[in-house]
Structure formats: C-alpha cells, structure tokens
C-alpha cells in the first residue's frame, strides 16, 4: 500500500470511529459534518471524498459492525458439531457481542439501522453476501439432513434471531435487566425446540 493509500485508509478508520463515538454520545441527531470531522480530525472534503455524504459514512459504519457480528456468528457455527450446539453458539455469540460492543450494537439495533435496512435491504444483503453464505449453507445442510425441521430459510432465521434481537434491544435500551448468560441458555434451548424435526 502506498503512503497515500495508507493515509486514506487511516482517514476512513478515523471517520468511522468518530461516527460511532458521536452516535454513542449524541445519538442520530448529533451526526453532522462538523461533529464528525471535528471528532475524527479530518476535513469535510475527506468525509465527502471517502463516503460521499454523512449517510454514506453511517451506512459504511453499519456495514462494518454488521460484518463483524456476522463474522463472529459464522465462526461460532463453524466450531459447532451439531445443530443444537450451533443454535446455542449463535445465541451466546450474539449476546456476548452486544455486551462487548454496546455502542455499535445500539447503532445496529437502532431505528436508523431499521430505516436503512428497510430502504436498502437488497444492497445491504448483497454487500454482506460472502458473510451470509456460510450461515445459509449451514441451515440448508441441516434441513436437508433432517436435523432441523423442513422450514423455509427466512422462517428459520426469524425463529433463531427474532427472540435474540428482541432481548438484545431490551437489554441495550436498559428495559431488561437480564442476566445475558442465563438468557442465552434459556433462549437457545427454547429456540432449538422450535426447530427440532
């Protein structure tokens, strides 16, 4: 990587880190060109050069953290020997991720992320295709082997992630004072029962 490319990559990282800090401190309404460039130590021109707009920066931030979450979920599944332990690994990994990265998780579970997800579902899915493929393949193999009930993939995804996302949102908002370790054990067992053939 040339020195210019290295400086560009460092600027991108600084702006993405700044966007998460500003979002964590001031919420969506605090995300402005001036707050982002001041916090990230970059010029407005750099923001527009690398991301096109504030929305482009925020979408890149969402993709960065969604990618990290999907990578961790995929790694957890790859270490699992059975579908049941795979479900447990997904639940535990997801809940551990929100505990370890609460600011990023608040963004991922925010109304802003929901709006972007609804408006650009296909583009987001396409951007994460390489990360989603192993999860989809894992489900497909276990459905075909008869280890998981023969349900459509979107329904399996809803049964697995729906309760976990609901708990995560409540915990992140402070409305659920759940012990996440205990919740992971209970949820994974209940989810597994819904998927048994």
> What is the model's pLDDT at position 24?
95
Whole-number pLDDT of residue 36: 94
Give the torsion through C-alpha atoms of 193, 135, 165, 29, to 10 deg.
Answer: -170
Confidence (pLDDT) at 137: 87
The pair of structure tokens assigned to 159 is 């049964």
Dihedral, 63, 69, 71, 73 alpha carbons, nearest 10 = -150
Q: State residue 128's pLDDT score.
A: 67
Q: Which two tokens stand for residue 87?
A: 């479900």
Tokens of 168: 């995560």
17-64 pLDDT tens trace: 999 999 999 998 999 999 999 999 999 999 999 999 999 999 999 999
What pLDDT is recorded for position 116? 80
State pTM to two decimals.
0.89
What is the pLDDT, as a whole number, of residue 61?
Answer: 95
Q: What pLDDT is stored for residue 159 in this prediction?
A: 93
Token pair, residue 29, equals: 């309404």
- Listed as ranges, residues in the chain with pLDDT below 50 are none
* 86 CB-near residues (< 8 Å, 6+ apart): 76, 77, 80, 138, 142
Burial of 108 (0-12, 13-18, 19+ CB in 10 A): buried
Closest CA to 110 of 153, 159, 168: 168
């Amino acid at each position: 990587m040339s020195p210019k490319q290295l400086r560009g990559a460092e600027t991108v990282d600084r702006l993405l880190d700044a966007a998460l800090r500003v979002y964590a401190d001031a919420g969506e309404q605090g995300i402005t060109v001036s707050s982002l460039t001041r916090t990230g130590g970059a010029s407005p021109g750099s923001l527009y050069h690398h991301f096109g707009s504030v929305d482009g920066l925020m979408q890149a931030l969402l993709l960065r953290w969604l990618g990290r979450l999907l990578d961790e979920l995929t790694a957890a599944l790859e270490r699992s020997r059975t579908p049941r332990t795979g479900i447990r690994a997904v639940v535990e990994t997801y809940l551990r991720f929100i505990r370890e990265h609460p600011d990023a998780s608040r963004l991922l579970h925010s109304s802003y992320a929901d709006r972007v997800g609804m408006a650009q579902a296909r583009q987001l899915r396409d951007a994460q295709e390489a990360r989603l493929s192993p999860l989809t393949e894992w489900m497909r193999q276990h459905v075909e082997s008869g280890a998981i009930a023969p349900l459509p993939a979107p329904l399996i995804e809803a049964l697995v992630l729906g309760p976990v996302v609901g708990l995560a949102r409540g915990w992140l908002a402070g409305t659920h004072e759940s012990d996440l370790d205990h919740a992971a054990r209970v949820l994974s067992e209940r989810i597994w029962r819904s998927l048994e053939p």
